[in-house]
Amino acid sequence: MIRLLTLIFTWWNGATIGTLFHTWRQGEFVGSDEFGNRYYQTKGGVKDPALGIVRRWVIYFGEAEASRIPPGWRNPPSGERPILSDTQTRR
């Protein structure tokens, strides 16, 4: 019961149930890193019409800590896929 409430209400301990549902419906797995974080983007690399870019997001393993995200994921060159190192391969 506590696990269910944690999934519904707390975002700092990992993904909420809404984020997991959105990822299942709209996400495409891109890769993971040595911390266990999982990286996603919109399926097929479709650009969001409102933003004009491909949406990307991270599902953290454990506590949400943005400093553990590689710089290549946050700021990829324009029009290119995010850069993931060899340890962050697509599985």
In whole angstroms, give the CA distance from residue 55 to residue 32.
17
Residue 1 pLDDT grade (very low, low, confident, very high; cuts 50, 70, 90): confident
Residue 78 has pLDDT above 80, yes or no: no
Task: Give strand ranges (E) for 1-91.
Answer: 27-32, 38-42, 56-59
In this prediction the pTM is 0.67
The 10s digit of each residue's pLDDT in 18-51 is 888 889 999 999 888 888 888 999 998 888 888 8
